[in-house]
Amino acid sequence: MQQNYCEDDEIDLLDLAKKIWKYKKQICIVTCGFIAVGLLYILFATPWYKATALVEIGYYKETNPQSGLVQEFSLENPIDVTRKLQTHYIDLLKNTKELDYEVKKIDNVKDNLKFINLEVYGKSRNIAVGKISKIIELLAKEHKNILDAYLEKVKSDVENVNRQLNYLKNNRIVSVEQQIAYIKNYQIPRIDRSIKYMQEMTIPAAKKDLEAINNISMVAIDDNIKLNNDILQKYQKNLDELQSGRKVSSAESTISRQILEQGYYSQILNAKQNLISLEEQKNLLISQTIPNAQNRLDRLLNVDLENLQSDRDSIMTNKLPELQRNLINLQTSELNALLEKKAILELSLKPYNYQNTHIVAGIIASDYPDRPKKLIILVISMVLGLMISAFVVLIYDKFKAGSTENR
């Protein structure tokens, strides 16, 4: 039964081929007509020239101070650029007629998003090429403003670092050097002179003063006290004798006796006053002058001298080494950090470390129209002509065969 189906199919196809061959002339005429229409379309249709370009989004490079790695930054996010261009040149112009160009495609390169493929059709080669140039020119102008702002910022940063370097070299380092020089050349020698003067002059003088008070003033006062005691005893004895009458003769007058008594009283009073004054002086020496002199000597030895020595030790062990460490840090770490920062910034200004948005390797455009596709149109015209003419003659043949049978 399957064999019968195959035989029927072969008979139908053969019969179909015979019918088509029967009307080959008509089919050829119709097909030639379609081909002619295709040729007319090719002749009168507006030619469209295709231009393509690979665009690289502008960038700048910076060196990471910590890692030393060079990082690249796009002037604008490439995906955002693509969306912006698609919106402006494709979406908004989709229903616009009578344009002499058509932006067909704008998309990022899959493996490297910073590159954009641009495809434009124009009614002439120059129009297509010119439109790509105009699109990239406007984009590059926009990105140039971003790049210029970045470069100006870097230049400003370089100037700022230069100011910091000048301040570091001419102010901070010089200031620390001057402090160190002041300590070495003036402060320490001045303290040494003060210590030496105190050890050789002030302290010995204080000791001599104390010795003088103890050995001279006190002895002199004691001697004066003894002398005045002797004088007091002498005149007291004379007065007693005078009053007892042992030394006064009976011939002496009462007036002479009174004068002598008055003289003795005066000498006794004067001696007593001297003794009181000397006792006060002695008490003052014991209670104030000697303690003050001893305190002054102790202060010189235990306070003033130790303070000077302590100040010197503190300067030599703390302040001076700290200043020297600070100077080394300024001359090495901080200076090198600023120099490195300046070098990195200046490196960013090198032309090979930045690039504005541009077309890579130029615009590619054919000297011949890309549309309409002549060969494709002719093939389609011929195929359509054959199919339609064959369909028509088969229907005509079937209709004709039906009419004959009815008769």
> Is residue 174 situated within a structural domain?
no
Residues whose CB is less than 8 angstroms from the CB of residue 19 and which lie 6 or more positions away in sequence, other chains included: 393, 394, 397
pLDDT band at residue 248 under the 50/70/90 scheme: very low
Sign of the CA dihedral running 208, 210, 215, 220: positive
> Is residue 132 situated within a structural domain?
no
Residue 263: pLDDT over 90? no
Which residue matches tokens 């062990």? 317
**54 has which bridge partners?**
117, 360
42-56, 129-143, 335-349, range with the lowest pLDDT: 42-56
4-13, 178-187, 222-231, range with the lowest pLDDT: 4-13
Residue 247: pLDDT over 60? no
- pLDDT greater at residue 117 or residue 401: 117
pLDDT tens profile 151-189: 999 999 999 999 999 999 999 999 999 999 999 999 999
> Is residue 181 situated within a structural domain?
no
CA 311 to chain centre: 40
Output the pLDDT for position 326: 94
Round to whole Å and give the CA distance between 52 and 103: 10
Residues whose CB is less than 8 angstroms from the CB of residue 139 and which lie 6 or more positions away in sequence, other chains included: 55, 81, 85, 357
Output the pLDDT for position 253: 60
Which residue matches tokens 């030619």? 47
Residue 281 belongs to domain spanning = 186-347
pLDDT band at residue 221 under the 50/70/90 scheme: confident
> Is residue 262 situated within a structural domain?
yes
User: Encoding tokens for residue 173?
Assistant: 């380092």
> Is residue 316 situated within a structural domain?
yes
Residue 243: pLDDT over 60? yes
pTM, entire model: 0.62
Residues whose CB is less than 8 angstroms from the CB of residue 262 and which lie 6 or more positions away in sequence, other chains included: none
> Is residue 98 situated within a structural domain?
no
Round to whole Å and give the CA distance between 82 and 59: 16
> Is residue 83 situated within a structural domain?
no
Contact yes or no for 70/63 (Cβ under 8 A): yes
Output the pLDDT for position 109: 92
> Is residue 370 situated within a structural domain?
no
Q: Mean pLDDT score of the chain, rounded to an integer?
A: 82
Output the pLDDT for position 107: 92
Round to whole Å and give the CA distance between 315 and 191: 10
Q: What is the mean pLDDT of residues 269-290?
A: 79
Residue 128: pLDDT over 70? yes
Residue 369: pLDDT over 80? no
pLDDT tens profile 283-316: 877 777 777 878 887 887 788 888 889 999 999 9
- pLDDT greater at residue 47 or residue 9: 47
Round to whole Å and give the CA distance between 279 and 266: 20
Output the pLDDT for position 46: 67
Share of the chain above pLDDT 90, in %: 35
- What's the total number of domains in the chain? 1
